[in-house]
Every structure is written in structure tokens, then in C-alpha cells.
């Protein structure tokens, strides 16, 4: 009966549109076996890591932890797992990061409590669970089974699965559970300060071919979004043969203050109005974008392509430029280059001297397929002129 119930709830988790990265330390190992032994595991499980040794945990966290088994440690692991899931997930899927740390029965017996802590991080909330087990009641394997059942039930809740699973806890072993929700403003603040790597707004409800795992990303400030942006991404999709189209705004700028939460929300509304997916990230540099979105194709203008291969932007070092773009190449990323009006001259990829070592990363969007000289800067200037004239007319009427 127990195995059948586990299989039923795991099948329901695999049927949900949620993907997960799981970080476990000190227990709940059976949960991984259950997740992976039921068909459909690849729908859910993106990655599982067991940082069991001290050095492994230090490398995962990037620091030496003061305490290995605590709720704060589980929360930190869940946040790392969530950001990893954002990087590995299929576009349009919701993701969760799972963090578990336990101190279960050992040989020889330990003096302290037998306990574990669990954290589930989603975009807009975090679920926390802490359990202290009765000492000398169960074997190590039995304690691991209880911890695994609690983890599977928590994953089911995070995946909005209605099935339940008996944890095996006694009446005196009450799980300390809490749920904290984040507003959109709080999520964006977390992104700006570096806690979250990105926030995805999946406004598009269209289906895109078998190659939808690959993102086709048009980065920009989109202040404002205009028809040229929409047309460019549409043409880029046809040139590269498919993928999941999305726009990307960096909340953090390389040489300007970060966007405010209000500015981000205003720009995001433009994409909601036209039903297009937009990602808000905190990475202004393309080599960092490539790390965040491996295997993606970035849609850029010829002016941006020229800057990408100009040693001037790499402290004058051609070698450094090739190293950084070589790293981008190893992530599987490419650049789809559209023509752009530069100082009154329309430039295309063929007008740029691309080093041979990285030339295959750059793919031209033919001028006959896309040419639109409109820019957000010009639109803002024109709008400013219109607004100024409106004010003058109003003042004259008054």
C-alpha cells in the first residue's frame, strides 16, 4: 500500500508543469530514487546534487557554513537550486528549488537531536519545514524514509498536486511548517540585489515546435517596445528554424543605475499587452547572459555585434575578447545579427570583421528579410517633441 501511494503521488508530480532542481545533504536519499524510478522523471527533475562532504557543501554555497543542519541552510540551498532551475528549465515552465539538510541516526549514536529541515523555493513563495524525530525510535533507513516522504509531500504541494502521502511521523513529531509569499515588488527587489538571477513573465500562450527548449532572446531596454522589436524577433525565429521566442530586459545596467521596480513593471506591461514572453534579468553583459541562458540564440543589431568583437571593450586586449566570446561559444550560444542604421549608414553582419575563431557564432539576418530603421531612442525623442508641442498649445489656449 505504501509503495503504491508513493508511486501515485510521484506520477502526479511528473504530470504537473513544474520542473525542479534538488539539493540534498544528510538524508532523504530515498526520495531521489522514488522520483527517478517512476516514468516521467525527466518532466520534473532537471538536476539532483548531494553535497555530502564538507568541501562539497562549501563549493555549493561559496562559503564555509557555520551550521550544516538548520532551516536557514535549507533555505539557502533551495534558493541556489531555484536559480539553477531557472537556467536549466524549459521556457514557460514553472520551477522550484528544493533544499534539504538533515542530521539523522548515525553509528556510533549521536548526542544531539535527530532532525531535518526542508525548503521549497518558487518564484513567489517559500515553503519551510522543520522536523525533530524521536531518538532511538527508528533505524537510519527508517528515518531516511520518513524524511523522504515529507520531501515528496512538500514537492507535491509546490507542484499543486492534490494527492497526499502519509509521512510516517508519530503524533508527538509535529512538523513545523510555514509558507511565506512574496509580492511582485519583493521578487523584483530580490532580483535587483542579486538573490534571484531572473524573473520570467510567460505572457505568450503559443506553442512552438520541437526545438522549444532553445530560447531565442531579443535583449534590450524596450523604452518603449515598438513594432521593429516584434518584427525582428519574428524574422529571427524563421532564420534559426525555431525555438522559444522571448524578450529580455536587464534590470542592472553596466554604466547606469539599476532600473527601479516601478520602471521594470512599466516596461513589462508592454509585453503583457501584446502577449509576448519577457525575462527580467540582472545580467547586463552578454557573457553573463550566456551563462544564465545556455544554448540560447541572442538577437542583436549590427552595432552591438561590432562592439562585441571590438577589443576596446575588453581593456584593449584581443586575446581577452576571444577568451570571453570563446566561453560564450562553449555554452552553445549564438548571435543572430540584424541590420542597423549606424550614423546614417545601414550596417549588416557582413560589414563587420568577425574573428575566424568565433565566426560560426554569428548568423546574419538578411536585409531583405528585415530592415526597419526605427529605434526606441528616436521614438522617445519624437514623443518628447510631441509632448512639448502639446504643452505649448495648451499654454497658448490658456
Residue 60 lies in domain: 1-181
Give the per-residue pLDDT at 214.
84
| pLDDT band with cut points at 50, 70 and 90 for residue 227 | very high
pLDDT at 250 over 50: yes
Same structural domain, 251 and 351: yes
343 compared with 360, residue with greater pLDDT? 360
Confidence tier at 2 by pLDDT (50, 70, 90)? confident
% of the chain at pLDDT higher than 90: 80
Residues 5, 56 within the same domain: yes
State the cell numbers at 163.
494527492
In-domain check, residue 208:
yes
pLDDT digits (tens, 9 = 90+) for 363-373: 999 998 887 76
Residue 395, in any domain of the structure: no
Percent of the chain with pLDDT over 70: 92
Query: Band of the pLDDT at 107, cuts 50, 70, 90?
Result: confident
Which grid cell is 149?
516522504
pLDDT band at 342 (very low <50, low <70, confident <90, very high): confident
Specify the length of the chain in residues: 398
- Pairwise CA distance, residues 245 & 112, whole Å: 53
Q: Are residues 339 and 367 in the same domain?
A: yes
Q: What pLDDT sits at residue 370? A: 87
Binned at pLDDT 50, 70 and 90, residue 397 comes out as very low
Q: Is residue 389 over pLDDT 80?
A: no
pLDDT at residue number 291? 95
Q: Going along the chain, which residue ranges are E strands?
A: 18-25, 45-49, 94-103, 114-121, 125-133, 176-181, 198-201, 215-219, 244-250, 278-281, 297-301, 334-338, 340-342, 345-347, 362-364
The verdict on residue 390 lying in a domain is: no
Same domain, 157 and 200: no
C-beta separation of 148 from 29 below 8 A: yes
* 388 compared with 113, residue with greater pLDDT: 113
**38 has a pLDDT exceeding 50:** yes
Quote the pLDDT of residue 127. 98
Q: Would you say residue 6 lies in a domain? A: yes
* 74 and 158 within one domain: yes
Q: What is the pLDDT of residues 120-163, one digit of tens each?
A: 999 999 999 999 999 999 999 999 999 999 999 999 999 999 99
- Asked, for residue 393, whether it belongs to a domain, the answer is no
Spatial separation of the C-alpha atoms in residues 27 and 247, rounded to whole Å: 40
pLDDT at 390 over 60: no
Query: For position 210, what pLDDT does the model report?
Result: 44
pLDDT band at 374 (very low <50, low <70, confident <90, very high): low
Q: Is the pLDDT of residue 280 over 50?
A: yes
Pair (177, 238) in one structural domain:
no
Task: Give yes or no: residues 278 and 307 share one domain.
Answer: yes
Taking only the tens place, the pLDDT of each residue in 189-224 is 999 999 999 999 999 877 554 456 789 999 999 999
Q: Is residue 234 part of a domain?
A: yes
Q: 172 and 144: one domain?
A: yes
More confident position, 391 or 104: 104
> Is residue 35 a part of any domain in this protein?
yes
**Tell me, what CATH number does 166's domain have?**
3.90.950.20
Domain boundary among 148, 181, 214: 181
**Do 216 and 327 lie in a common domain?**
yes
pLDDT band at 391 (very low <50, low <70, confident <90, very high): very low
Is residue 135 located within the same domain as residue 198? no
Quick check: 241 and 363 in contact, CB under 8 A? no
CATH code for position 288? 3.40.50
Task: Output the pTM of the full model.
Answer: 0.89
Q: Domain check: are 163 and 223 in the same one?
A: no
Report yes or no on 237 lying in a domain: yes
Question: How many structural domains is the chain composed of?
Answer: 2
**Does residue 331 share a domain with residue 197?**
yes
Q: What angle do CA 234, 240, 242 make, to 5 degrees?
A: 70
- The residue whose grid cell reads 498649445 is 393
Angle (CA) 226-230-233 rounded to 5° is: 140
**What's the whole-number mean pLDDT along residues 264-291?**
96
Amino acid at each position: 500500500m505504501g509503495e503504491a501511494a508513493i508511486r501515485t503521488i510521484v506520477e502526479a508530480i511528473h504530470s504537473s508543469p513544474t520542473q525542479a532542481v534538488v539539493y540534498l545533504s544528510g538524508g532523504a536519499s530515498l526520495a531521489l530514487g522514488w522520483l527517478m524510478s517512476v516514468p516521467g522523471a525527466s518532466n520534473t527533475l532537471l538536476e539532483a546534487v548531494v553535497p555530502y562532504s564538507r568541501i562539497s557543501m562549501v563549493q555549493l554555497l561559496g562559503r564555509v557554513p557555520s551550521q550544516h543542519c538548520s532551516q536557514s541552510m535549507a533555505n539557502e540551498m533551495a534558493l541556489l537550486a531555484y536559480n539553477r532551475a531557472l537556467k536549466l528549465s524549459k521556457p514557460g515552465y514553472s520551477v522550484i528549488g528544493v533544499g534539504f539538510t538533515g542530521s539523522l541516526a548515525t553509528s556510533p549514536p549521536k548526542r544531539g537531536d535527530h532532525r531535518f529541515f526542508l525548503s521549497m523555493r518558487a518564484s513567489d513563495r517559500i515553503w519551510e519545514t522543520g522536523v525533530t524525530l524521536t531518538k532511538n525510535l527508528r533505524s537510519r533507513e527508517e528515518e531516511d524514509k520518513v524524511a523522504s516522504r515529507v520531501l515528496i509531500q512538500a514537492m507535491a504541494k509546490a507542484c499543486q498536486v492534490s494527492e497526499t502521502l502519509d509521512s510516517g511521523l508519530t503524533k508527538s513529531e509535529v512538523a513545523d511548517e510555514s509558507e511565506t509569499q512574496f509580492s511582485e515588488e519583493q521578487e523584483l527587489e530580490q532580483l535587483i540585489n542579486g538573490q534571484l538571477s531572473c524573473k520570467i513573465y510567460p505572457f505568450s500562450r503559443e506553442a512552438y515546435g520541437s526545438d522549444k527548449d532553445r530560447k531565442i532572446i531579443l535583449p534590450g531596454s524596450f523604452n518603449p517596445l515598438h513594432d521593429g522589436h516584434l518584427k525582428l524577433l519574428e524574422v529571427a525565429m524563421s532564420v534559426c528554424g525555431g525555438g522559444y521566442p522571448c524578450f529580455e530586459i536587464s534590470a542592472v545596467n553596466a554604466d547606469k543605475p539599476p532600473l527601479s521596480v516601478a520602471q521594470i513593471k512599466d516596461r513589462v506591461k508592454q509585453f503583457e499587452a501584446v502577449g509576448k514572453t519577457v525575462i527580467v534579468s540582472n545580467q547586463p553583459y552578454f557573457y553573463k547572459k550566456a551563462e544564465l541562458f545556455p544554448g540560447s540564440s541572442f538577437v542583436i543589431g549590427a552595432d552591438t555585434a561590432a562592439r562585441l568583437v571590438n577589443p576596446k571593450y575588453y581593456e584593449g586586449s584581443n586575446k581577452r575578447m576571444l577568451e570571453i566570446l570563446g566561453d560564450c561559444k562553449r555554452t552553445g550560444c549564438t548571435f543572430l545579427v540584424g541590420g542597423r542604421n549606424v550614423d546614417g549608414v545601414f550596417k549588416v553582419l557582413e560589414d563587420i570583421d568577425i574573428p575566424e575563431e568565433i565566426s560560426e557564432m554569428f548568423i546574419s539576418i538578411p536585409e531583405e528579410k528585415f530592415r526597419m530603421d526605427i529605434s526606441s531612442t528616436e521614438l522617445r525623442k519624437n514623443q518628447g517633441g510631441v509632448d512639448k508641442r502639446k504643452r505649448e498649445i495648451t499654454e497658448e489656449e490658456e
